[in-house]
Amino acid sequence: MRRFNYRFVLSSIGVLLMIEALFMLFSAFVGEYFNDRAVTSIYTSSVITFLSGALLAFLGRKRHRKGGSISKREVYLTVTMAWLMLALFGTLPFLLSGAIPSFTNAFFESMCGFTTTGSSTLLNIEAFPKSLHFWRSFTQWIGGFGIIIFVMSFMPVFGGNSGQFFDAEATGIAEDQMRPRINEVTKYMALTYFALTIIGFFFLWAGPMNAFDAACHTMSAISTGGFSTKQASIAFFNSPYTEYVITGLMFFGGTNFMLIYTFFTRFSRSVLKEEEFRWYLTIIALFTIAIMGLLLITGEMSGFENTFRTALFQVIAAVTTTGFATVDYQMWGHIYWLLFLAMILFCGCEGSTSGGMKISRLVVLSKNTLLVFKKQVHPDALYRVKMNGRVITGHTSSKILAFVFLYLTLAAISAVILSFTGMTFDESIGVSISSISSYGFGLGSYGPSGTYESASIFAKYYLTFLMLVGRLEVFTVLSLFVPGFWKR
């Protein structure tokens, strides 16, 4: 029986922490430019993080064992612990600078960043140092694409299998299609991510935003995170141009990056035949038309263009789980609460930075349900669920059903648990679904106009757990709590 390779876990986490330390320096350079008070704290945080990572890498230096291939036990634990450690050390700039003196709030803020959830405990965002604003947005940019995927091409150097890491981070239909060429896919997705970030920055800078705000909002938008440098979020800029650009960035952030790469490198319309993307467009269109129509009919808003822009912005922000806001949709009425909760459940596409259960799973579930009805009429006929012309195997279908069951069950149980922390019935449901889907906004006092400062200490830690479970697609984290998973 093969022993657990803890050295691999230590060395992998150590390398990731050293990379995080280098990322912190970007925020320090921003602080140097603006001469803000948090610079020294960020440098100190970077040094502590780098030395801690170097120590872990040193302790795990003898990671190769005879015949010891890396199993899913090591990989799942490494991915989960890596996100926890990244969020833990990501609190240092907030704590050491005194900008967020509470460890609970600082850890909550850091986890919201790396999981691209976008929730916040800050009561006065605009009083925050610019270097820490940049760090908040940068954590979302890092987490959006996945720090694990960033270094996936280097995993063979550390004794790992990049396919296993991808499986731990993205347990959907796309994983089966991508695994044979995972390193190539990672490279193309990274190039697309970088390109969209650069293009988005210049487009936002061309509007009323200055370079700093443009950089922060670009990173938050393309990562579908939602952190803003302004208390009023995007509404602060009062600019239709900015809203349309942010809408476009969120839309691309919720789209499969391989589709974007293929479209802009081959200029082929074949990407429009991709089923998940067509569903993505259809869902956005239907919800936008429905909400715009309701707002105009009820008189909640006036003016066709203004209503269309607001509805489109809020729908894409919800479908991609970005969490930006131009209005507080709770003021429109209860029917909109239900619509937004529905949108954040099945969210964006596989291979995107969005959270939620992903539209591909909704497609398979819908087709599988239709297949059941067909078999009722023709029980002897041979039907198969297909997506993009490919047969979805029984193993994949059963995994999707299990995923959806666990996802919804955990969200329901969490709502009950959170209701005991002082949250109202609607708040506990909204916050539960929002956190596991990486959306950020809940209902009630945790909606677009509120913050999570008033949540209890237990609620904040529990929500960070939900964020982590949702970001790592449920199975990765929950598998660690199954006793049989650890048996040799």
Alpha-carbon distance 366 to 346, whole Å? Answer: 12
pLDDT for 172 beyond 70: no
Q: What percent of the chain has pLDDT over 70?
A: 90
pLDDT score of 463: 97
pLDDT at 164 (0 to 100): 52
Looking at residue 154, its pLDDT comes to 44
Q: What is the pLDDT of residues 35-67, one digit of tens each?
A: 998 999 999 999 999 999 999 999 887 654 444
The single-letter DSSP state of residue 222 is: H
Indicate the pLDDT class of residue 178, thresholds 50, 70 and 90.
very low
pLDDT band at residue 135 using 50, 70 and 90 as cut-offs: very high
pLDDT of residue 273: 82
pLDDT mean over 164-173 = 50
Q: d(Cα 85, Cα 356) in Å, to the nearest integer?
A: 23
Q: What 8-state DSSP symbol labels residue 65? A: -
- pLDDT tens figures, 369-407: 888 888 887 777 777 888 887 888 888 888 888 999 999
Q: What is the pLDDT of residue 158?
A: 39
Q: What is the mean pLDDT of the chain?
A: 87
> How many other C-beta atoms can be found within 10 angstroms of the C-beta atom of residue 71?
15
Alpha helix (H) ranges present in 378-420?
394-419
Confidence bin at 194 (pLDDT 50/70/90):
very high
Percent of the chain with pLDDT over 90: 54
- Phi then psi for residue 62, to 5 deg, are -95, 70
Check pLDDT > 80 for residue 122. Answer: yes
Segment of 2-6, 297-301, 420-424 carrying the highest mean pLDDT: 420-424
- Categorize the per-residue pLDDT at 200 as very low, low, confident or very high, splitting at 50, 70 and 90: very high
Tokens 């731990």 -> residue: 168
Q: What's the alpha-carbon Rg for the chain, to the nearest Å?
A: 22
Helix (H, G, I), strand (E, B) or coil at 487: coil
Report the DSSP beta bridge partners of residue 446.
none
Q: Average of pLDDT values for 346-364? A: 87
- Stretch among 39-43, 291-295, 298-302 having the lowest mean pLDDT: 298-302
Q: What is the pLDDT of residue 261?
A: 87
pLDDT in tens, 445-488: 998 888 999 999 999 999 999 999 998 888 888 888 888 777 76
What average pLDDT does the segment 118-125 reach?
Answer: 90
pLDDT digits (tens, 9 = 90+) for 142-152: 998 875 565 55
Between 337 and 209, name the one with better pLDDT.
Answer: 209
Q: Which residues of 130-167 are buried (b: 16+ CB within 10 A; e: fewer)?
A: bbbbbbbbbbbbbbbbbbbbebbeebeebbbbbbbbbb
pLDDT digits (tens, 9 = 90+) for 235-258: 999 999 999 999 999 999 999 888
Question: Residue 171's pLDDT is what?
Answer: 44
Segments in 299-378 forming alpha helices (H): 304-319, 334-346, 359-377
The pLDDT of residue 153: 45
Q: Give the C-alpha separation, 355 to 226, whole Å.
A: 12
Quote the crossing angle between the two packed helices 425-436 and 394-419, to the nearest 10°: 140
Under the banding of pLDDT at 50, 70 and 90, the label for residue 162 is very low
Please determine, for residue 157, whether its predicted confidence score (pLDDT) is greater than 50.
Answer: no
Mean pLDDT on 407-435? 95
What is the mean predicted confidence (pLDDT) over 124-131? 91
Q: Is the pLDDT of residue 179 over 60?
A: no
Whether 1 shows a pLDDT value over 90: the answer reads no
